[in-house]
Amino acid sequence: MVIDGHTAVCGLIGNPVAHTRSPLIHNGLAKELSVNLCYEAFPVTEENVGDAVKGAYALGILGLNVTVPHKERVIPYLKDMDGLAKKIGAVNTLVRTTDGYKGYNTDMPGLYRAMLSDGIKADGEKVIILGAGGVARAVAVMLADKAEQIYILNRTLEKAEKIALEVNSYCDRKVATAMELTDYKKLAGSKYLVIQATNVGMHPNCDRTPIEEDAFYEMVKAGYDLIYNPAETLFMKKVKMAGGEAYNGLKMLLYQGIIAFELWTGSKVSETVAGKIYDRLKESI
């Protein structure tokens, strides 16, 4: 692709960003779809978030992705927010409008699109979410109007209770229940869709998983570990050994990027193109 005066610029802000694979996704999509766009990663410290958002808009940057630790910090500098992003309370994509950036959360639609791609449905399912951080909260909000029941398991019960209360207030029904990790035995008797939403088991600490007992994994019909490095976590290995299906977070990374790209450019990314970028992502790990 030739970069010229008509080339649209997008990028990622966060700290750190050197490890990111987002340029591979977006520059790959631009090449595959013949879109005149380039994407770069910009390290931004906490105290410079506001200046970065204002400066990006002043420079004519078409859109930005936002990664940790700035997904909440960018919100005061936005002109508008999508409804899902408001519910989740976190933004990972900024889309240029006539008077500022509008914030979106494409992480959770990305997860849902990844699940559909893998043939996993959430509608009417009983779901267990491991963890009670920001990612777990976002997953719970996203699945609240789809799942039959959501069980949020965490070492600190109070954190899980806070998320369950928020989710139930959104839905106007008791869809979410908070439990301690060790209370999973109370749920025995069904097969669950399980989302592993902690950083336990992430490289380089690959020999860990939030729940060690094999009995838990006998309850798992399908397990999603939102970690993608390593490609197969201990959580995933245990799910597979117990006979369940297991997936990592790489497709979520892919599809959140695809949705952002579609928002910026108005393009529609086919599953064929998505598959090509996914293969490159796998090769990069």
Q: Is 54 known to be catalytic?
A: no
Q: Is the four-CA dihedral 186, 196, 110, 12 of positive or negative sign?
A: positive
DSSP annotation string for 24-48:
HHHHHHHHHHT--EEEEEEE--GGG
Pick the catalytic residue from 71, 87, 102, 238.
71
Cα torsion at 231, 233, 236, 238 (round to 10°)?
A: 150
Residue in this structure with the two tokens 């766009």, named with its chain if needed: 37
**Sheet arrangement for strand 192-196:** 176-180, 149-154, 126-130, 192-196, 220-225, 245-247
Do 35 and 9 contact (CB within 8 A), yes or no?
A: no
Q: Which residues pair with 65 in a beta bridge?
A: 12, 93
Helix runs in the chain, H state only: 22-33, 49-58, 83-88, 107-117, 134-143, 157-171, 214-217, 234-241, 250-265, 271-284
Q: Which residues are catalytic?
A: 71
